[in-house]
Structure formats: structure tokens, C-alpha cells
Amino acid sequence: MAEAQPRPMHTDFARWYATVGIGDHAAARDARWTGVSAIVQSADRADVEALTRLAFRSRQAPDADTVQALREHFKAADETFEMNGNGRELEVLSGAALVAIMEDTADHDTAAAAALSVTTAAMGGARTPPLPMDLAPFAEHALKRIADANRQRPSLSALASAKTPAVNFEAAVKKLTEAENWEGARHAFPLAAQATQAAVTTLAQQQTALVQRVDQFLRTQDEELQMLWWLTGARSWDCDCAFDAVAPATRPLVFAKELADHTEMLPGPPSISALFARAGVDDAATIRLAPTINAADGAWLRALLGSADPSPVSCPIHFAIIRQLETGVGEAWVPGWAAVTEINPDHTLTPLALANLFYRERLLTLFG
């Protein structure tokens, strides 16, 4: 992201920041927004994870160095910003930063990662961040916006109708005029070459940008084609059986993993819920997470994780799999998992909601 100036302040930022309780100090508020803008400009996946942990007030503290770097953005905008002892202020600013990242249109990957992290951390309402803004609607809107943008067909006519870059030989002509001999020509030729190179570079950049857009569009088309073949075949690749032969309890995990394997770009297609529903993932009854993981094949779960080290905050379902594999099938692993993740073990979800969440976690894991 390459923003030289702070982003336009979010229309609700003043209201959000007022909850910190420092009064209506416009200068401080403007400085904090400058810090938020700086975070958006440089944010990466580590920043998103740290912001998510801060915004959700997780017991799992974010990386200290990352938090220090986040604080430095606010310190750079306002020397009076406290570098410790202002946890509540940092929580609210982290929430505002996540909103700004999710709404950013310059870096779809980081925006999508932030939106995915917010939804998976919330885990269908199991966690509710203590913030003046509701992050979930921002996240869902961002996921839809980015998924739709990834699927916009690039306009080939835009490049075809673009003006050919002008070649400016004025500097070369001036040099040759100053000395109308071979010595003048010797100095003029490099200037002419530079002008030509500049025009060719501009044209090449235009073509490269178009090729990249076409490549992105083709990748999304391939993504959806593979998913449609999966749905048309009505057969699980991992289980090597028909959809209806996969145990209903494990369908959310198995089908989410298989579709995530064929996702080319974050955040995946907007039709993912429909694919799950057509494959037979229920949206009526509700289930607990523990029995679903206990019902899955242990070898499949181990292969699924590989060498991944999932976050208990943004990937609580993957973290549950680790705990179950460590302890064994049953309920013994559940209290420890619940204590670390701060999620009620009796929290229930529909199988379709669980499939969506596990799919999103898989994307965070695969594209991390």
C-alpha cells in the first residue's frame, strides 16, 4: 500500500474514539487517525493477527515486537501517546485499524486476511470483542466486495484504446543543436535512448498490469470451475466416496478442506455457502465443535495440519484439532482448549456455519 497522506477519516471514528474517555480533543483524535492510516499503509499478516488479538482482548498476548511497532505509528503522529498503560485505547484503535484495513482497496490480500481473521476469531458469536464498533458486518462486507472485485472481467479494450506513450526527444534535439557535429550527436544519442526507454517502459507497464488482471481473472475462473466439477461429481476427494456416504458430522470439516484446497485467491468465491449446502451440509440443526472433531479420522486430521502452527485466536477450530490429537478422542481435551481460546465449549453452530468458518481458517492457514 502506498499512501503518502492519511486516509480520509472514517465517519464513525470520532464516536469510536470518544469511548476511550479522553474528551473531545480534535488534535489527539486526528493524530490517532494518522496512526491508523500508517498501520493500514504497512500492515501485513503479523499485524492483522496482533490487531485481532488486541481488539478481541484475548488472553493470548500478541507478539510484543509487533505491538511495539504498532504503537510506534501512533507515537510518530503524537509524541504524547503513551507506550504502555493505555490498553483500552489500544483496543479501540486496533478495532478501528482493522476496519480501515478491511475497507482498503489498494491491498486486497491484507484486507481479505483481516476480514477472514475477524470472522474466524468471532467464531459465530462465541467471542464478542468489547469494542464500540461491530466488526462482523465490516468483515462480511469486505469479503463480498473483494470476492466480487476478483471476479470482474478485465477490459481488454481499455489498453487497446489507450494512447501510445509519447516519445520526447526535446532534450536530445537541444543537445544536438548546441553542437551540430559528431560530438553533439554522441551526447544526443543517449538522451534519445532514454526518451525511447521511458516510453517503452510506460507501454510495458500498461501491458504487464493488464496481463496481471487477466491472470487473476483466469485464476478465479479456474477456481470456480474446479469447485463446480467437485460439486457436479458429488464425490469427496479425501474420503473417496460419494457426498452422501461422508458422515454428516464430518462433512463441515471435510468439504471445507477440499474446497479450500482449490481456492486460488483470498477470500474465495462468494458462492461458497451455496456449494456447501448443495453438497449436503445442513443448515437446520446445531452442533458442538468437540463431537465434530472427535468424529473425524485421526490420520486425516494429522495430514490436514501438517506442520501448521495455528493461532488459538484466529484459527480456534484448527487449534482444537491440535488439542484433540494431543489428548485423544473424547472430551478430555475440551476444557484446556476452551480455557486457551476463551470459547464456551457448549457453543453451538449449524453445520453450514461451521463449514464456512473452517473454510476461512483453512484459507488463513494455506495463504499464511
Tell how far CA 281 is from the center of its chain.
25
pLDDT for residue 121: 98
pLDDT for residue 1: 39
pTM: 0.86
Helix (H, G, I), strand (E, B) or coil at 127: coil
Q: List pLDDT tens digits, range 296-350.
A: 999 999 999 998 999 999 999 999 999 999 999 999 999 999 999 999 999 999 9
% of the chain exceeding 70 in pLDDT: 86
pLDDT for residue 181: 58
Q: List pLDDT tens digits, range 140-180.
A: 999 999 999 988 887 777 656 556 666 666 665 665 576 66
CA dihedral defined by 213, 219, 222, 226, rounded to 10 degrees?
Answer: -150
Asked if pLDDT for residue 3 goes beyond 50, the answer is: no
Tell how far CA 49 is from the center of its chain.
10
Q: List pLDDT tens digits, range 57-79.
A: 999 999 999 999 999 999 999 99
pLDDT band at 93 (very low <50, low <70, confident <90, very high): very high
Beta strand 235-236 pairing with 241-242: antiparallel
